Amino acid sequence: MISQLKNIGFLRGLVVTLKTTFRSSVTAEYPRVDKRIQVAERFMGFPALLWDSNIVEPYCTGCMVCVRNCPTQCMSAEMKDNPKFEDGTSGRRKIINEFEINLGRCILCGICVDVCNFDAIEMSHEHELSKYQRNGNRANLETLLRMGMEFQNKVNWTPKQPEKNSGKPKEKVSKSKTSEDLPNPLKLDKSLNSESSEKDSSE
């Protein structure tokens, strides 16, 4: 009898729904903070700039490699001479002066993180940025650093290339200005500049 009933497709469907009735819910109540589904550790939210708390300055040197590689051109950056380099407290000769990401235009592809040589940018877990203003999603340097610091604290972030990007000033020898002893960031700056100039000439 039961096997006969099982052949009726409609009843088979009803059995499935009946089973589901006694199963726990899979949906979450979104607006309640304690009931939200947590994002995965690798979740790619909006890009954020990271903070080097040892030297107390951003990792970013404003080399523009992320700006050039962004598929949607949502970033702009500007570098300046690092005053801490003059003091000898930092190994970064150049430092970021202004940085703006239009988060409304960002497509969260993560290419900026891939191309960054200085571990300066990372996809944070920030993903809720509804704003009332049309340009409210233009995040400036301060906002980006705050997002980055929140992210660093949340995931215990460590740089991928800790030695290269430590930002510690090099020994006194570096002041002799021979090319081998120059601090690392400068070397990178140079190589980047040469790469970009090469690219410009090819275009």
Binding residues for other proteins, per CB under 8 A? 8-10, 12-13, 15-17, 19-20, 26, 39-44, 69, 71, 107-111, 114, 123
Closest CA to 47 of 133, 130, 134, 105: 105
Nearer to other proteins, 12 or 187 (CB): 12
Residues 6+ apart with CB under 8 A from 149: 50, 51
- Six-digit token pair at 39? 């994002």
Minimum distance of other proteins from residue 45's CB (angstroms): 9
- Asked whether the beta carbons of 144 and 106 are under 8 A apart, the reply is no
Nearer to other proteins, 111 or 129 (CB): 111
* Alpha helices by DSSP H, 30-134: 65-69, 83-87, 111-115
Nearer to other proteins, 55 or 123 (CB): 123
- Asked whether the beta carbons of 42 and 71 are under 8 A apart, the reply is no
Minimum distance of other proteins from residue 61's CB (angstroms): 20
Nearer to other proteins, 60 or 106 (CB): 106
Minimum distance of other proteins from residue 128's CB (angstroms): 15
The secondary structure of 128-158, three-state, reads CCCCCCCCCCEECHHHHHHHHHHHHHHHCCC
Cα 119 to Cα 60: distance, rounded to the nearest angstrom: 8
Minimum distance of other proteins from residue 10's CB (angstroms): 5
Minimum distance of other proteins from residue 40's CB (angstroms): 4
Nearer to other proteins, 19 or 32 (CB): 19
Closest CA to 66 of 112, 100, 130, 105: 112
